[in-house]
Structure 1
Amino acid sequence: MRNCFKHPLFKSILISSLAVASFQPFAQGVSEAKNMALTGYNDLQGRTAYQPTIQKQGNRWIAYVGHHGDYKLNPLNGQMENNGTSIIDVTDPKKPKYLKHLPGEEGKAEQGGAQMVRVCSGATLPKADKSKFYMLRVFGNQSHEIWDVTQPENPSLLTTVVKGLKGTHKSFWECDTGIAYLVSGNPQWRTNRMTQIYDLSDPTKPVFIRDYGLVGQNPGSSGAVPIALHGPISTGPKGNRVYFGYGTNTEGIIQIVDREKLLNGPKEPTPENLLYPQISRVELPPMHGAHTTFPMLDMEFPQFKNSLSGNKGDILVITDEAIQKECLEGRQMVWFMDISTETKPYGVSNWALPDMPGNLCKKGGRHGAHSSNENMTDVFYKKIMFFAYFNSGVRALDVRDPFAPKEIASFVPAINKNTVALETPASSAGAKLPYTEAATKVAIQTNNVEVDERGYIYIVDRANTGMHILELTGPAKKIANWNAAIK
């Protein structure tokens, strides 16, 4: 028996077994995790991914993922296709099934693809066919489209809302009213990203409402042009507010706007009319932007529960976006702003993942915040928020006390055969930056995160790694009341 250990065949088997054991975390798609576990995975055909949106359709749950520009093989039809929109059945999150890829605009990264996607049920939209589901997506930087996705395996283009643009990005669609805030680049305006508002309550008949942006971006203005819009979040008629975030990693601006005045006030883009719906405007420090502006309204402040006043209020969570590799920019992080007195917002706390220990700035790719979840599902809203953090995966924060947010869970996927080293973006000044060998390292680049009403967490990767479906475990699971949420 002892001699069998010397047999060449046994040695080969032993070495293979050790290799499998050594790379088991890689095989499972996990690099490191805390109070968060991997439930399912889909490679998204190896496409660089931006925005995931999860929609319940009858008894099915469907994930729609927008992609940055690139050119990849679609194994479903054997054709090379420009990156566009991936449609995945995630009804069983352990076994997500890729259903369809819709090609987007030709081009690389921000110049192509179909990055942004939103979905509404016809049963919710006021004037739509109640039996249908509708997808609003960008087509690269040139247009916004509406698709019938009632049969997600066989979507069909309904209409192009607007075309001939010079930019698009992170739009927002109110499913209960049909009002859509489209991040667009009207060629007549002085910026490539402002807001075009449409009534899409009947998705087959888009109705233009108005153009909107900052004073100085509008046609006919002069002087310096304020930084471009990144995206809005609306609280609809009930909350009557739209929160606009401008900039990403520099010169950011937060704008709180009265929704009713925005939609029904004077619409010619004069300085006076643009200022009419504005409640307040906050200019961020030069090295910070506003990628995502997420409202947490009517919160209790546990630190001040015994105070006569100020023991509850409204919070706006602002997420910067890291742009440059290796932290060669200002620190990009998460900010909590008290907006209880809307005309006088002020910062109350912030959170960032330090690059030490671990020297994360040199891990490869970008290190820093990018985006938060935007679904306000009861499972997580005002309790836990999730933040995409590029080479540090997704981070979950306990936000029940917004004056002292704390990390309670995290998940960093492992790289796989599809993961690539991202190209270096140009600096804002156009100068060559002193990138080291870390600039060419292959690293996870968790790009965006979203959650669904069942309590699952979806992260997608900018460096082609795919989509990971996650669930909370341990103490974090108890905060979310996970068992009550999962069906």
Structure 2
Amino acid sequence: MSLPEPEYSRNMRLTGHSDQGGRPDGVQVMVHRGYAYIGHMVSQGFSIVDVRDAKNPRTVRYVPAPPGTWNVHLQAHDDLLLVINARDLFADSRFADERVYYTRQVGETVKTVSGRDWSAGVRIFDISQPENPREISFLALDGIGVHRIWYTGGRWAYVSALLDGYTDYIFLTIDLADPRKPEVAGRWWMPGMNEAAGEQPGWPEGKRYALHHAIIHGDTAYGSWRDGGLTLLDVSDRAAPSLISHRNWSPPYGGGTHTALPLPGRDLLVVLDEAVLDDQQDGEKFIWLFDIREPANPVSISTFPVPDERDYVAKGAHFGPHNLHENRPGSFVSETLIFATWQNAGVRAVDISNPYRPVETGALVPAAPKTMMDTRPGRPQVIQSCDVFVDAQGIIYSTDYNGGLSIIEYLG
């Protein structure tokens, strides 16, 4: 079968593609022991694609989500797969206009939900047989559920969760000492988010303060709070996380802080602001490089180059960063070569050998999706490269909300 012709490529080559068994809507992808685990945005569950022969990927299983629930994000390490359960918000007509999701507190929009027809929490699977995940436990939570997880083995996992009584997603530490009996150990939120305790939001109208997720290195959690900016949290006591520092550059910039990737060997932090609205209605978004030699005082020192080989704003849909390859143990790990998705501008590789002058060294913009899985009205049929994962061999895997899994070779 012929591969879809990329719209643009430089120092990258498309070598494989999968429609994920007829469910080409993908959000987070984890490649583990030769299998890609892909959370769906519309199809609700998750799929498993055998990528041991990356040029000929083969979908082997679809695992459905409970009714009314999506599994957009997941994490795989050793013999465990952790999958989020949350209310399928994009199936809610109140979020048909994505501005409602991105410019106000989710807890405010869904306050009036009557009855609970979804599952909230974390499903934990044994994947010692990669094609046959076996659910071994479920951490049930109240509220809307979990957005994203960070788990790289061992006792602790970390999630963003929207619990009853909070305005939006907060930070939780999860104790997996016994993966069959997961427990919430600690929590942290920004002042103003604990509505049940009488706290009042102190941020501007039209801004959304919510934890997207945190990446943990050692005893520090690097948290991205959408329009609330960046936090460094001390998690040496997993039951009582505490604030080291908080930085926010919105306003004047447009917010949407999504991913904060530490490069511990260089005392650097890559911080990505997600473009969340069509046609740059939320302003131009950037990937920032911070100097964190002094954790109490993170300092921005540069931004990544912005794709400019065509007018991507005029192309339509979202133009701007979405996510980074996160240097997970067992994957490709580099503190000088960073991979990012730019939505309608595809996948980009950036060399930060000189942290003050990041240089793009490769790019691939996949073809437009053949079909639209996104059921929200008026969505343009434009590629929206979502997540990126680079395996230990340097093979790049990127998802799209509609266009399936692109498997890419980096030639730089």
TM-score (norm 1): 0.72
Q: Is the 8 A contact 1:421 1:442 kept in 2?
A: no
1:467 Cα deviation after fit: 0.4
Q: Distance in 2 between matches of 1:422 and 1:290?
A: 26
Counterpart for residue 296 of structure 1: 263
Q: Is the 8 A contact 2:14 2:408 kept in 1?
A: yes
Report the CA distance shift for 1:206/1:38 in structure 2 as closer, same or farther (over 3 A): same
Higher share of residues assigned helix: 1
1:363 to 295, 305, 315: 315
CA RMSD, 1 decimal: 2.2
Q: Is the 8 A contact 1:386 1:449 kept in 2?
A: yes
Counterpart for residue 215 of structure 1: 191
Counterpart for residue 185 of structure 1: 162
2:215 to 216, 233, 239: 233
Q: Is the 8 A contact 1:52 1:448 kept in 2?
A: yes
User: Secondary structure at the residue paired with 1:39?
Assistant: strand
Q: Distance in 2 between matches of 1:317 and 1:367?
A: 19
**2:243 paired with 1:278:** yes
1:293 Cα deviation after fit: 0.4
User: Secondary structure at the residue paired with 2:353?
Assistant: coil
1:119 to 46, 69, 76: 76
Report the CA distance shift for 1:27/1:136 in structure 2 as closer, same or farther (over 3 A): closer
Q: Distance in 1 between matches of 2:348 and 2:333?
A: 14
2:39 to 62, 66, 76: 66
1:380 Cα deviation after fit: 4.3
TM-score (norm 2): 0.84
Q: Is the 8 A contact 2:80 2:128 kept in 1?
A: yes
1:352 Cα deviation after fit: 4.3
Q: Aligned ranges for residues 85-104 of structure 1 at < 5 Å? A: 85-104=46-65
Counterpart for residue 268 of structure 2: 315
Q: Aligned ranges for residues 262-273 of structure 1 at < 5 Å? A: 263-265=238-240
Amino acid at match of 1:223: Q
Pair member with larger Rg? 1
Counterpart for residue 11 of structure 1: none
Q: Distance in 2 between matches of 1:207 and 1:416?
A: 40
Aligned positions, number? 370
Counterpart for residue 390 of structure 2: 451
Counterpart for residue 203 of structure 1: 179
Q: Is the 8 A contact 2:265 2:335 kept in 1?
A: no
Q: Is the 8 A contact 1:384 1:398 kept in 2?
A: yes
Percent pairwise identity:
28
1:450 Cα deviation after fit: 1.0
Whose RCO is larger (CA < 8 A, sep 6+)? Answer: 2
1:84 Cα deviation after fit: 1.0
User: Secondary structure at the residue paired with 1:340?
Assistant: coil
Report the CA distance shift for 1:174/1:155 in structure 2 as closer, same or farther (over 3 A): closer
1:372 to 324, 341, 351: 324
Q: Distance in 2 between matches of 1:167 and 1:331?
A: 30
1:366 Cα deviation after fit: 0.8
Counterpart for residue 134 of structure 1: 80
Counterpart for residue 349 of structure 1: 302
Q: Distance in 2 between matches of 1:245 and 1:165?
A: 21
Q: Distance in 2 between matches of 1:220 and 1:28?
A: 53
- Cα deviations across residues 297-330 of structure 1 (Å, max 9, x unaligned)? 222xxxxxxxxxxxxxx11111111111111111
1:154 to 126, 132, 150: 132
Q: Distance in 2 between matches of 1:30 and 1:83?
A: 27
Q: Is the 8 A contact 1:293 1:316 kept in 2?
A: yes
Q: Is the 8 A contact 2:259 2:324 kept in 1?
A: yes
- Cα deviations across residues 252-295 of structure 1 (Å, max 9, x unaligned)? 3211112213x154xxxxxxxx6xx2111112222123100000
Q: Distance in 2 between matches of 1:55 and 1:441?
A: 32
Amino acid at match of 1:33: S
1:118 Cα deviation after fit: 0.4
Amino acid at match of 2:316: G
1:115 Cα deviation after fit: 0.6
1:447 Cα deviation after fit: 0.7
1:367 Cα deviation after fit: 0.7
Q: Is the 8 A contact 2:150 2:159 kept in 1?
A: yes
Q: Distance in 1 between matches of 2:257 and 2:284?
A: 13
- Cα deviations across residues 13-39 of structure 1 (Å, max 9, x unaligned)? xxxxxxxxxxx9x84442211001112
Q: Distance in 2 between matches of 1:207 and 1:380?
A: 30
Report the CA distance shift for 1:210/1:472 in structure 2 as closer, same or farther (over 3 A): same
